[in-house]
Amino acid sequence: MLEPIRIGVLGLGTVGGGVANVLLRNAEEIARRAGRGIEVIQASVRDVHKDRSCDTSQMQLTEQPMQIVNNPDVDIVVELIGGTSRARELVLKAIQNGKHVVTANKALIALHGNEIFDAAQQNGVMVAFEAAVAGGIPIIKAIREGLTGNSIDWLCGIINGTTNFILTEMRDKGRDFADVLAEAQALGYAEADPTFDIEGIDAAHKLTILAAIAFGVPLNFDAVYTEGITKIEGKDVSYAEQFGYRIKHLGFARRSDHGVELRVHPTMVPEGRLLANVDGVMNAVLVHGDAVGPTLYYGAGAGADPTASAVVADLVDVVRSMTADPENRVPHLAFQADSIATQMPMLKIFEVETAYYLRLRAEDKAGVLADISAILGAANISIEAMTQKEPAEGETSVDLILITQAVQEIHLDDALRQIEALPEISNNVVKIRIESLN
């Protein structure tokens, strides 16, 4: 058997420790697959004296990640420090030094991937990033290599475990957002500063990557419309259920003749769909190809071992392809670098067409419904279903729920402005997009 491949790991925290553990625990099986061993010879940490979650007896620890990037004995650099500034610098330097890179850093790829892949191409090295999207689910591989015969029409996914955990708890136990968020933080499912998760930024990073490899467009994070789950109330979860829907925080990417739409937002999904039944911290991605139809990929989206599973799969891929002609490797973004459609229009959210759930707070008196119906009718917006709740004891206003048929968002928003101006309407209308996932 060939000499083992020598790995340098930048960042030996939760995921880095998981990678080291999996490589040791499954060393024999991994070598039987890859044809040679894969060994961590060096790792960077913030404090070399701190206790570790993995055996570090066979590796050299350093507090200087640049030492690893410049270490001539290191064949592949695994970047797990996160963030985009220092990580970008280290990854680009590793590439310049002719090293292959494996990263789990979704923000880095979403924001700087075009530059990084360009540099990798010029230096004849590979940058693999399976762990950047949906943790242990091999979704990058599935889209990039498993569906190459398809023109991919659309994809959508539950790609942030924290928001899915929160929405699942809100539905299952009728709890409030803030309450569940606090528990998620205590359980380690949510960060102390949960903004990236609950405002949808993390999901937008991942959607950026999925859309690029599905449609053959450049990474374009700025084109993603991003909306979090902080405005979802318990009553919306419960009303959704009454109409046969569940609220999921989805990343959604679709390609049409007009261009590509990229959006992350709470979405009502029919309760019978598999995606509606993906609960807790689990992730799932639904990909629709013109030949294969719908396919779905489900698994753990985070955690030390599941993320390590993806990192190690990338390492084996890189080991298998290292000696191949660089021109003949799987392209980083699924499409050959000179075949990426840089001119494809990116649609704004107001150009998107979906159905909507609307919740209004209206005075409980005659004529209100007629006014609302008149405004929607004038805008050519069809109502699929409508229900008026009973006023609570002592209250004179009621919740009014409307489900619309598909309409372009700009027209809906126009109508909503008129509705909100009605004297009988006391709230900003709550609007949740609906996708049938057909």
Active-site positions? Answer: 206
Can you tell me the distance from the alpha carbon of 289 to that of 167, in angstroms, rounded to the nearest whole number? 28
Which residue lies nearer to a second copy by CB, 31 or 94? 31
d(Cα 357, Cα 365) in Å, to the nearest integer?
A: 22
Tell me which residues touch a second copy (CB under 8 A): 18, 22-23, 25-26, 29-35, 130, 135-138, 141-142, 145-151, 216, 274, 277-278, 284, 289-300, 305-306, 308-313, 315-317, 320-325, 327-331, 334-336, 339
Q: How far apart are the first and last CA of the chain?
A: 50
Residue with smaller CB distance to a second copy, 263 or 273: 273
Helix, strand, coil percentages in the chain from 3-state DSSP, rounded to 5: 40, 25, 35
Backbone phi and psi for residue 239, each to the nearest 5 degrees, phi listed first: -60, -40
Question: Pick from 3, 1, 5: which is nearest to 74 by CA?
Answer: 5
Nearest to a second copy of 150, 405 (CB atom): 150
What is the nearest approach in angstroms of a second copy to the Cβ of residue 242?
Answer: 21
Residues in the chain: 438
Q: Give backbone dihedrals phi and psi of 433, rounded to 5 degrees, phi first.
A: -75, 150
DSSP assigned state of 144: I
Buried b or exposed e, range 282-319, using 16+ CB within 10 angstroms: bbbbbbbbeeeebbebbbbbbbbbbbbbbbbbbbbbbb
Q: Where are the beta strands (DSSP E) in 194-328?
A: 225-226, 245-256, 259-270, 282-289, 293-300
Please, what is the minimum distance in Å from the beta carbon of residue 24 to a second copy?
11
Residue placing its CB nearer to a second copy in the complex, 287 or 419: 287
CB of 143 to a second copy, least distance (A): 9
Tokens of 186: 């205590």
Residue 121 to residue 118: CA distance in whole angstroms: 5
**CB of 429 vs a second copy, minimal distance in Å:** 34
Given the complex with a second copy, which of 82 and 331 has the nearer CB atom? 331
| Nearest residue (CB) to a second copy, 324 versus 378 | 324
Closest distance between a second copy and the C-beta of residue 110, in Å?
21
CB within 8 Å of 303: residues ≥ 6 apart = 18, 135, 136
Nearer to a second copy, 233 or 290 (CB): 290
Give exposure, 417-436, as e/b (b: 16+ Cβ within 10 Å).
ebbeebebbeeebbbbbbbe
Shortest reach from residue 344's CB to a second copy, in Å: 12
**Cβ 305 to a second copy shortest distance, Å:** 4
